[in-house]
Amino acid sequence: MGKKRGNREGSVSKRKDGRWEGKYTIGRDPYTGKVKRATVYGKTRQEASEKLNLLISQVQMGVFVEPNKVTVGQWLSKWMDIYQQPKISENFFRRKKDLIRIHIAPILGSVLLSKLRPSDIQSLYKKKLKDGKVDGSGGLAPQTVRHIHNILHASLKQAVKEGLVSRNVAADTTPPPVVKTRVVKVLNKQEISQLLEVIKPHRLYAAFITELCTAVRLGELLGMQWKDIDISGKTLKVRRQVNRVYHDDETSSLEYGPLKTLHSYRTIAISNIAVNELKLHKARQAQERLAAGQAYKHEDLVFCTALGGKIDPKNLYRIFIQSLKKAGLPATAFHNLRHSVATLLLQEGENIKTIQELLGHADAETTLNDYSHVLEEMKRGAADRIDAIFAEIIPPEEKQADQNDQLVK
């Protein structure tokens, strides 16, 4: 049975149903004077002991809240700080906190965790789909309500693990289906030519050339440093990104951050046109640095402001949109330049594995899913190429015989 716990260490024992339970005295009821104990459960003695030790430390630090008194709002706050902040990006963390603060907490925040029901959550989804926008202009998009569902489902799953609730009631709800209706607008060769003609005089022309030669993400493009580029070896290492990070005091700042996934850290072979343009860009940047003097920020950035600082992704996006308009092209997302590069490479016959690695996708399946429409269009071309191949393989007399057979039929 193991070593017996001492006084003020709680107790662990086996229940008749096979589970182990740990108990710890947390005080006395101020009205009845009876001793109050908190209980945790585990499938094994070790699991129960670990949960009991956590409970005791929370009581001793004054942060313990009795399970039947924990509200949804309190639990979501704790879950975010303990289980989310260490593993997700600052911006994603802020996005989740905003969804909780604006959409979940005002409706479910004061509900006791133990009293939360599937119908409470389902009603939340219904309300948000109908009139969830803060400005009162209508309902939230199904995708946003899905994000709300994901937060509730994941947090309640952890609450079950910690013994705060017996089941995950979010699992018994039906979030709205998400139907992809947005059509990705990629640029063809002629449109890219028109765009570059307009952007060419701009000091950041090389940024757009680099984007169209590497298909990196916008934040990755702005996070490049000269130490990442091997001009002679014609390679580029993608190692960081620049994001605008929003802080609790309502301020924000441009910060370097980790990449989206482990596979986003990659080395890309760069073309001669990108290498040549980067050389010219570096020479112009040296002139800007001399002109700025002491005011210049030395962050080694490839693409930066005239004073060497980080460029806000929104600013480069604004230049892109203005250039599209000037070129007489319809507005589209900057991210679609990345799609345009991948699409052009596929149409030129590049293999899917190379494109996967170029884009930094975790696996080829992701790439195949993103560009299935292009592959469908290419199937007709493949069939035509098979015809051309067999035109060289089948002797003329056999082709004539085949035609005669078809006539007989």
Tokens of residue 39, six digits: 């209980």
Listing DSSP states for 267-311 in one string gives: EEE--HHHHHHHHHHHHHHHHHHHHHGGG-----BSS--TTSPPP
Which amino acid makes up residue 397?
Answer: E
Alpha-carbon span 32 to 183, nearest angstrom: 66
Which amino acid makes up residue 21?
Answer: E
Alpha-carbon span 110 to 70, nearest angstrom: 9
Q: Which residues of 268-293 are buried (b: 16+ CB within 10 A; e: fewer)?
A: bebeeebbebbeebeeebeeebeeee
Of the pLDDT bands very low, low, confident and very high (cuts 50, 70, 90), residue 405 is low
CB count within 10 Å of CB 169 equals: 21
Query: Is the pLDDT higher at 288 or at 4?
Result: 288
Tokens of residue 101, six digits: 């603060």
Residues with Cβ < 8 Å from 408, sequence gap 6 or more? none
Assess if CATH 1.10.443.10 describes domain 189-362: yes
CA–CA distances in Å: residue 360 to residues 221, 244, 262 = 13, 22, 9
Q: Specify the 3-state DSSP secondary structure of 25.
A: strand
Q: Indicate whether 81 pLDDT > 80.
A: yes
Burial class (CB in 10 A: 0-12, 13-18, 19+), 116: buried
Which amino acid makes up residue 159?
Answer: A
Alpha-carbon span 152 to 163, nearest angstrom: 16
Q: In the chain, where are the structural domains located?
A: 11-64, 72-172, 189-362, 372-408
- The enclosing H or E element of 385 equals helix 372-393
- Fold category of 72-172 in CATH: DNA polymerase; domain 1 (1.10.150)
Query: Is the pLDDT higher at 50 or at 7?
Result: 50
pLDDT in tens, 362-376: 777 766 666 666 656
- Percent of the chain beyond pLDDT 70? 84
pLDDT in tens, 323-368: 999 999 999 999 899 888 888 887 787 777 888 888 887 777 766 6
238, β-bridge pairs: 266
CA–CA distances in Å: residue 404 to residues 5, 395, 407 = 95, 15, 5
How does DSSP classify residue 88?
Answer: S
Alpha-carbon span 248 to 359, nearest angstrom: 33
Instruction: Give yes or no for a contact between 264 and 220, defined as CB atoms under 8 angstroms apart.
Output: yes
Tokens of residue 342, six digits: 């991948």
pTM of the full structure = 0.63
Q: Specify the 3-state DSSP secondary structure of 245.
A: strand
- The enclosing H or E element of 13 equals strand 11-14
Mean pLDDT estimate for the chain:
85
Q: Indicate whether 109 pLDDT > 80.
A: yes
The sign of the dihedral angle between the CA atoms of 195, 198, 200, 202 is: negative
Of the pLDDT bands very low, low, confident and very high (cuts 50, 70, 90), residue 153 is very high
